[in-house]
Amino acid sequence: MAYFPMFIDVKGTAVAIIGAGDVALRKVKVMLEYEAKITVIAIDVSDEIWKLEKEKKIIVRQKAYDEEDIKDAALVIAATNDTTLNKRISAYCKEHRIPVNVVDVQEECSFIFPAYVKQGPITVGVTSSGASPVISQKIKKMVMNTLPDYYGELADSLGKVREEVQKKIDTEKERKQVFKKLIAIGEERKGRISYDDLEEVLKKK
């Protein structure tokens, strides 16, 4: 059985993370990288999580969990060391159709985390659908070793000229050719492309 890869926009989305230990911290860091609005609910809070709260990157509610804490969340991550509580959180979320991840108990998750490589707007996500997180980690390292380090900024710059290309060129087939040429220019330069590069490519058409 394989999981379907779905990429979702979590920028500004209310994410509730229950628990504030090492495992929760890993999830906080991932969700922060994708600009979610994170609230951590936990009895014991690690120093690193307090530091993020002081930097105003996350909200921390130091308390015992109750259902009020997650009723308005768009995503929930149960990361406590109390397996019965994690199960209860999962059951509540499933009943209320809130996507939920229970750290390291796959059957209780409605979504799971991938190993991933992020460069600007590019994310390469890897999953083994729970078969072996360590093989996902290994594949992630293979991607890190082969993905050129300027691809994120190249993708960003292609995004910036894309609207112009869509306006100026009628067919999808031709637009694709233009983007391939722009990528080749970026690869030669090992960096971003500009509107001038687009003008050059359009002139030679």
Ligand X SMILES: NC(=O)c1ccc[n+]([C@@H]2O[C@H](COP(=O)([O-])OP(=O)(O)OC[C@H]3O[C@@H](n4cnc5c(N)ncnc54)[C@H](O)[C@@H]3O)[C@@H](O)[C@H]2O)c1
Q: Residue 114 or 186: which CB sits closer to ligand PQ2?
A: 114
166 binds, among ligand PQ2, ligand X, none (CB under 5 to 8 A by kind): none
The interface partner of residue 136, options being ligand X, ligand PQ2, none and the CB cut-off 5 to 8 Å by kind, is: ligand PQ2
Pick between residue 132 and residue 166 the one whose CB is nearest to ligand PQ2: 132
Residues that bind ligand PQ2 (CB under 6 A): 26, 30, 101, 103-106, 109, 112-115, 127-134, 136-137, 140
Q: What angle do CA 33, 6, 90 make, to 5 degrees?
A: 80
Binding-site member from 13, 21, 87, 155 for ligand X (CB under 6 A): 21
Please give the size of the binding site for ligand X, defined by CB under 6 A.
Answer: 20
Task: Pick the closest to residue 164 from 154, 153, 150, 178 (CA basis).
Answer: 178
Smallest separation, CB 22 to ligand X (Å): 4
**Residue 79 sits in the site that holds ligand X (CB under 6 A):** yes
State the nearest-atom distance from the C-beta of 100 to ligand X, in Å: 15
Which residue of 15, 17, 19, 89 would you call a contact of ligand X, by CB under 6 A?
A: 19
- Indicate whether 112 belongs to the interface with ligand X (CB under 6 A): no
Contact 92, 65 (CB under 8 A): no
**Footprint on residues 148-187 left by ligand X (CB under 6 A):** none
Q: Any idea which residue has 């090492």 for tokens?
A: 22
Using the rule CB under 6 A, is 85 a contact of ligand X? yes
Q: Are 49 and 58 in contact (CB under 8 A)?
A: yes
The answer to whether the beta carbons of residues 20 and 78 sit under 8 Å apart is no
The whole-angstrom separation of Cα 89 and Cα 68 is: 11
In contact, 81 and 69? CB cutoff 8 Å: no
24 contacts ligand X (rule: CB under 6 A): yes
| 80 sits near ligand X (criterion: CB under 6 A) | yes
Contacts of 109-115 with C-beta under 8 Å, sequence gap 24+, read 111/75, 112/3, 113/27, 113/30, 114/5, 115/139, 115/140
User: Dmax of the chain from CA atoms?
Assistant: 66
Judged by the rule CB under 6 A, the positions of this chain that interact with ligand X are 18-24, 41-44, 64-65, 79-82, 85, 103-104
